[in-house]
Amino acid sequence: MLPSESTERETQKLRDDYYATVIDSVGDGVIVISSSGLITLCNPAAEEITGFSRKQAQGASFNTLFALETTLLQMVSKTIHTGITISDHENVVVRSTGRVTPVAATCYPLLEGSGENIGAILTLKDITYIRELEAAVRQADRLSTLGTLAAGLAHEVKNPLGGIKGAAQLLEREFDPNSEMLDYTRVMIRETERIDHIIRELLELASPRGLRLAPVNLHKILGDILLLQGQAVAGRTISFCKHFDPSIPDIMADEEMLTRLFLNLIRNAIDAMGNHGSLTVSSRVLGDFRMAQNQRRSRMVAIEVSDDGPGIPAQDLENIWTPFYSTKSSGTGLGLTICHKIVAEHRGMIKVESTTGHGTKFTVLLPLIQ
């Protein structure tokens, strides 16, 4: 072999390695398909989105591997045959991993120096977070309309309610201390107080009092709640488990509101479990989390409250945030609406995952601002 030939090969190999590193470093999935429909290249991001390893994918037929993804098949086939670029940011999902991942897909023609079309390059961008965010915005919209409506109603009810309570109290004084009638007036007063409590919560929901920000130790709040709730569940076989990341610093937040938030979530979990169960509260830091596409990346703290209770049926999951949605005989159904609002005011996110028969997990993401 001539020396110049071997140097040329080395240079070519260096160049190939360089291109491979570039493609592997792209954060979006990249899949290259030859004009005969075989996959010639697949980067790590594509492996993660599709669930197929590079070994499985490279050399395989695109149509066979992605037989379920009709939109992708059509895009690739069209690009290979016509040489045009096609994008679809709305309708594409990838199901091969067993879960449904929404993706923004673009298919570019792979052109040789001579301009000949020799295949297609498919890029896939995981847009799960964008979809979640869109859903959160829609939900916030719906909740704020409902909140305004409910607050209007609360205002209307507040005054007559005061009148009823006052009248019941007057009546109470009229009766003999041993009169049976006192049982009725007591029920009237107790029930008007219950309505009054709901109304106060509703009004607070509609008129933000503003955050009182100060450094907050999340683990102390959670520890204190668990300590108190531990006494409340005495006599039941409910165990509490804490997995706290000790490196989480104090964050700037409203302590009273966060206490209310976690108390609601923990109480809900305890209510759901009945007499037996285990509740786990954990915390961790999510680095590099981007709330919206154009927002700068920031760190978030994730707090998870999970229980092994009966879970929430899939068709009810959307309703749990709605004011007055409750499956409990004595619940007001405002707990989670308030949680949603507290998290939104802290510019965080709250999500729920639940499997009937296995349990429920609420995840609260809060910005790690010190």
In the complex, which residues of this chain contact ligand ATP (CB under 6 A)? 264, 268-269, 272, 307, 309, 312, 320, 325-328, 331-336, 360
Q: Could you tell me which stretch among 50-58, 228-236, 260-268, 314-322 binds Mg ion (CB under 5 A)? A: 260-268
The tokens describing 62, both together, are 């695109």
Q: Which residue is nearest to ligand ATP (CB)?
A: 335
Query: Of 163 and 313, which CB lies nearer to ligand ATP in the complex structure?
Result: 313
State the nearest-atom distance from the C-beta of 27 to Mg ion, in Å: 39
9 versus 358: smaller Cβ distance to ligand ATP: 358
The span from the first CA to the last CA of the chain, in angstroms, equals 64
Instruction: Give min distance, CB of 335 to Mg ion, in A.
Output: 3
The sheet carrying 298-307 orders its strands as: 237-243, 276-289, 298-307, 359-367, 349-355
Per the CB < 8 A criterion, the answer to whether 272 and 357 are in contact is no
Binding site partner of 348, from Mg ion, ligand ATP, none, Cβ cut-off 5-8 A by kind: none
Specify the residue, 215 or 331, whose C-beta has the smaller distance to ligand ATP. 331
For the bound state, the minimum distance from the C-beta of residue 343 to Mg ion, rounded and expressed in Å, comes to: 15
Out of 335, 342, 343, 368, name the contact with Mg ion by CB under 5 A.
335
Q: Checking DSSP bridges between strand 359-367 and strand 349-355, what pairing results, if any?
A: antiparallel
Nearer to ligand ATP, 109 or 335 (CB): 335
In angstroms, the CA 132 to CA 128 distance is 6
Question: Which is nearer to ligand ATP, 185 or 264 (by Cβ)?
Answer: 264
Partner whose footprint covers residue 282, from Mg ion, ligand ATP, none (CB < 5 to 8 Å by kind): none
* Minimum gap (Å) between residue 176 Cβ and Mg ion: 41
- Which residue lies nearer to ligand ATP by CB, 226 or 252? 226
Spacing of C-alpha 226 from chain mean position? 23
From the list Mg ion, ligand ATP, none, partner contacted by residue 343 (C-beta under 5 to 8 A by kind): none
Of the two residues 24 and 201, which places its CB atom closer to ligand ATP in the complex?
201
Q: Which does 332 bind (CB under 5 to 8 A by kind): Mg ion, ligand ATP, none?
A: ligand ATP
What SS3 string covers 30-56?
EEEEECCCEEEEECHHHHHHHCCCHHH
Report the distance separating Cα 328 and Cα 345, nearest Å. 27
CA distances (Å), 289 to each of 218, 235, 249, 292, 348, in order? 19, 42, 17, 9, 11
Nearest residue to Mg ion by CB is 335
Q: Residues with Cβ < 8 Å from 276, sequence gap 6 or more?
A: 236, 237, 238
Nearest Cα residue to 346 out of 334, 364, 321, 320: 364
Helix, strand, coil distribution of the chain in percent, nearest 5: 50, 25, 30
* Among Mg ion, ligand ATP, none, partner that 121 touches (CB below 5 to 8 angstroms by kind): none
Give residues in contact with Mg ion (CB under 5 A): 268, 335
